[in-house]
């Protein structure tokens, strides 16, 4: 089976798993009404965290299929204010990461217009930030315009790799690395936008990973297609799903998720 066929098979399996997970999610939500006492609430928190972790794995399986399917359009760009959008994303992530005692610093322009696929852009930044962060860490996300490119730079302890390790990592195919290595998927998303990832190693501390995306205000050759449906998260916040491996169970108590 070739790579594209394998990805399609994985996507089919992901769809089957997502259906069963939807039943588990619905059952969990019903049990919330009957949960009495701290022990019952603690069990529900663990269940919710497990659901989010499974959603993350299933979402990555579906994303791998989308990124490798040569027969379908894989990116649906639209004109966005990257400055405002990234600031709002960072604000939400700052709130979520407080649960793991992680500090997220953000800096960026008020306005930066460019065409991008919002769902894939969010996934790219989440993949890079998940890689960079650990409990009690400080990470940073910076957006700036450099010439005709929008540059998203992530820095954190998880990026502490030397140049040789980064070079080997970037050469790997998506889906061939452990769950904690998110760089190849992010790199492919950047390439679908006509950009790339740039890595700067640092001998005395964390390095940086920068996604460099060309600024485009329109595309005369764009095909009119219906955008891909956004990946469903069962009512859970995408940020909670993305960082479910990092956050402690108490972040998934029913009242915390409301």
pLDDT tens-digit profile of 107-138?
999 999 999 999 999 999 998 998 888 888 89
Match 């098979």 to its residue by tokens. Answer: 9
Decide which of 2.60.40.10, 2.120.10.90, 3.40.50.11540, 3.30.565.10 is the CATH code for 78-214. 3.30.565.10
Integer CA distances (angstroms), 100 to 88, 89, 131, 137, 243, in order? 20, 17, 14, 9, 9
Q: How far apart are CA 123 and CA 205, in angstroms?
A: 26
CB atoms within 10 A of CB 218: 8
Q: How far apart are CA 80 and CA 52, in angstroms?
A: 28
Domain ranges across the chain: 3-71+238-257, 78-214
The answer on pLDDT for 140 being more than 90 is yes
Give ∠ CA 31-236-16 in degrees, rounded to 5.
Answer: 85
β-bridge partners, 144: 151
Asked whether 59 and 232 are in contact (CB, 8 A), the reply is no
Q: How confident is the model at residue 67 (pLDDT cuts 50, 70, 90)?
A: confident
| 162/194: higher pLDDT | 194
The answer on pLDDT for 181 being more than 60 is no
pLDDT tens-digit profile of 192-219?
899 988 877 666 667 788 999 999 987 6
Q: How far apart are CA 244 and CA 251, in angstroms?
A: 9
Q: How far apart are CA 212 and CA 190, in angstroms?
A: 7
| Residues in contact with 116: Cβ distance below 8 Å, sequence separation at least 6, in sequence order | 77, 78, 80, 82, 193, 213
pLDDT of residue 118: 93
The answer on pLDDT for 68 being more than 60 is yes
pLDDT of residue 48: 87
pLDDT of residue 224: 43
| CB contact burial 143-169 (16+ within 10 A = b; e otherwise) | bebeeebbbbbbbbebbebeeeebeeb
Q: How far apart are CA 139 and CA 128, in angstroms?
A: 11
Nearest Cα to 186, choosing from 115, 241, 126?
Answer: 126
Asked whether 188 and 174 are in contact (CB, 8 A), the reply is yes
């Amino acid at each position: 089976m070739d790579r594209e066929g394998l990805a399609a098979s994985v996507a089919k399996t992901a769809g089957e798993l997502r259906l069963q997970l939807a039943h588990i999610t619905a059952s969990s939500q019903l049990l919330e009404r009957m949960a009495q006492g701290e022990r019952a609430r603690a069990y529900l928190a663990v269940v919710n965290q497990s659901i989010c972790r499974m959603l993350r794995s299933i979402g990555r399986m579906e994303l791998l299929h989308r990124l490798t399917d040569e027969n379908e359009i894989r990116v649906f760009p639209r004109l966005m204010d990257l400055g405002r959008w990234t600031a709002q994303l960072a604000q939400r992530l700052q709130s979520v990461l407080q649960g793991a005692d992680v500090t997220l610093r953000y800096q960026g322009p008020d306005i930066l217009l460019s065409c991008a696929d919002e769902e894939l852009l969010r996934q790219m930044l989440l993949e890079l930030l998940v890689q960079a962060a650990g409990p009690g860490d400080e990470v940073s996300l910076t957006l700036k315009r450099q010439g005709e490119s929008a540059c998203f730079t992530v820095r954190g302890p998880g990026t502490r790799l030397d140049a040789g390790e980064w070079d080997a990592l970037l050469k790997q195919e998506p889906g061939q690395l452990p769950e904690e290595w998110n760089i190849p998927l992010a790199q492919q998303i950047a390439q679908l936008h006509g950009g790339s990832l740039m890595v700067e190693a640092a001998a005395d501390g964390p390095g940086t990973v920068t996604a460099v995306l060309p600024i485009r205000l329109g595309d005369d050759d764009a095909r009119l297609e219906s955008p891909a449906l956004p990946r469903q998260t069962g009512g859970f916040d995408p940020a909670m799903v993305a960082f479910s491996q990092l956050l402690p169970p108490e972040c998934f108590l029913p009242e915390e998720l409301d």
